[in-house]
Chains A and B, each alone.
Chain A
Amino acid sequence: DSGVTQTPKHLITATGQRVTLRCSPRSGDLSVYWYQQSLDQGLQFLIQYYNGEERAKGNILERFSAQQFPDLHSELNLSSLELGDSALYFCASSRGQGPDTQYFGPGTRLTVL
């Protein structure tokens, strides 16, 4: 158990809908990262927050947004969902900002029908 929690575990929804994925980092970790893992794209970095502020951005679509709250939990919002958004979404956390070990949550499996 990494200490990172993600909810929900599974999500099935229809195209055009909006969903919110939630992540709670390990106690004491200030950075939260979001990743998308799909069969054709592999593990793609989406975005990082550090202590409430956006710190780094990866291949995140404009339809996706995230935030980190004062209690350090984070939410990833996915809107206008498309079939291709079906994937595993992982949250990870680390103590600091940069090159630290990242601790991954169990993931949320999103299926868009």
Chain B
Amino acid sequence: SQQGEEDPQALSIQEGENATMNCSYKTSINNLQWYRQNSGRGLVHLILIRSNEREKHSGRLRVTLDTSKKSSSLLITASRAADTASYFCATYSYNTDKLIFGTGTRLQVFP
């Protein structure tokens, strides 16, 4: 079963615009990770945020975590055509001791 649900399922934007993807989850977690997948390829780790952190940055990526609402968001600023991919959130909990992936958001960035 999936822990995380991403919203929206799909997102289309123009180059230069910002893209925001949201992830909601059901049970308490120890960390939340975001991954990117180009079509049919392996997943690439983007960023990890721990349950005691509220915000984290990495280059053009900004991740927030609200444990009271059990939600996270991934913001990609000044998007590029090369950002076109699917983005997955994944939650880790010591209780389940597994990394559980959400359903993903398909992002398309038009040049």
Contacts A42-B101, A42-B104 given; does A109 touch B94 at CB 8 Å = no
- The answer to whether B100 and A45 have CB atoms under 8 Å apart is yes
Chain A: residues with Cβ within 8 Å of the partner, total of 24
Q: Which residues of A contact B69 (CB under 8 A)?
A: none
Q: Is the Cβ of B40 less than 8 Å from the Cβ of A102?
A: no
The complex places the Cα of A43 from the Cα of B100 at a distance, in Å, of 8
Is the CB of A104 closer than 8 A to any CB of chain B?
yes
Nearest-CB residue, chain A, relative to B96? A56
Find chain B residues with CB under 8 A from A42 CB.
2, 101-104
Q: How far is the CA of A106 from the CA of B41 in the complex (A)?
A: 5
Q: Mark A97-108, 1 if CB is under 8 A from B, else 0.
A: 011011111110
B87-111 to A contact mask, C-beta < 8 Å, 1/0: 0100010100111111110000000
Q: How far is the CA of A113 from the CA of B12 in the complex (A)?
A: 35
| Of the residues A55, A56, A101, contact of B33 by C-beta under 8 Å | A101
Q: Is the CB of A45 within 8 A of B44?
A: no
Q: Tell me, rounded to whole Å, the shortest Cβ–Cβ distance linking A97 to chain B.
A: 8
Q: Is the CB of B100 within 8 A of A103?
A: no
11 contacts between A and B (CB under 8 A): A42-B104, A45-B99, A58-B98, A88-B40, A90-B42, A99-B92, A99-B94, A101-B33, A104-B44, A105-B42, A107-B42
